[in-house]
Amino acid sequence: MFTRPVTSRAAGLALLAMLSIDGITLALGQAPADTESGYSPRGADTCLACHDTGADAPVLAIFETAHGSRDDPRGPFAQLQCESCHGPGAAHAQRVRRGESQAPIRTFGPQSGTPTEEQDAACLDCHASDAGPAWHASTHAFNDVGCASCHTVHTTSDAVLERAQQPAVCYDCHQRQRMQSTMAFTHPIRYEQMACSQCHAPHGSAGEYALARASVNDTCFACHAEKRGPFLWEHAPASEDCSLCHTAHGSMHPALLRQRPPLLCQQCHSQAGHPSVPSTPATIPPFGTSPLSLVGSCLNCHISVHGSNHPSGSTLTR
- Rule CB under 6 A: which of 169-188 touch ligand HEC? 169-170, 172-174, 177, 181, 187-188
Stretch that binds ligand HEC, among 4-12, 18-26, 27-35, 251-259 (CB under 6 A): 251-259
* The CA-based dihedral angle spanning residues 154, 160, 163, 169, taken in that order and rounded to the nearest 10 degrees: 120
236 is an interface residue for ligand HEC by CB under 6 A: yes
Query: Smallest distance, Å, CB 130 to ligand HEC?
Result: 4
Stretch that binds ligand HEC, among 5-13, 16-24, 25-33, 97-105 (CB under 6 A): 97-105
User: Can you tell me the distance from the alpha carbon of 234 to that of 243, in angstroms, rounded to the nearest whole number?
Assistant: 16
Query: Smallest distance, Å, CB 200 to ligand HEC?
Result: 4
Stretch that binds ligand HEC, among 1-9, 17-25, 26-34, 77-85 (CB under 6 A): 77-85
Q: Which is nearer to ligand HEC, 20 or 52 (CB)?
A: 52
Q: Which of residues 49-68 bind ligand HEC (CB under 6 A)?
A: 49-51, 56, 59, 62, 66-67
Which residue in the set 46, 114, 116, 308 belongs to the binding site for ligand HEC (CB under 6 A)?
A: 46
CA distances from 84 to 16, 79, 89, 131, 192 (A): 21, 7, 10, 18, 35
User: Can you tell me the distance from the alpha carbon of 246 to that of 41, in angstroms, rounded to the nearest whole number?
Assistant: 59
Closest residue by Cα to residue 123 from 152, 161, 96, 144 = 152
Q: Which of residues 269-288 bind ligand HEC (CB under 6 A)?
A: 269, 273-277
Q: Which is nearer to ligand HEC, 22 or 118 (CB)?
A: 118
CA distances from 237 to 265, 291, 307 (A): 11, 23, 10
Q: Which is nearer to ligand HEC, 20 or 314 (CB)?
A: 314
147 is an interface residue for ligand HEC by CB under 6 A: yes
User: Can you tell me the distance from the alpha carbon of 292 to that of 305, in angstroms, rounded to the nearest whole number?
Assistant: 18
Query: Smallest distance, Å, CB 17 to ligand HEC?
Result: 15
Handedness of CA 177, 182, 186, 189 (dihedral sign): positive
Phi/psi zone of residue 72: left (φ > 0), alpha (ψ -120 to 50 degrees), beta? beta
Site string for ligand HEC, 287-316 (x = CB under 6 A): -------x--xxxxxx--xx-------xxx
User: Can you tell me the distance from the alpha carbon of 259 to that of 222, in angstroms, rounded to the nearest whole number?
Assistant: 24
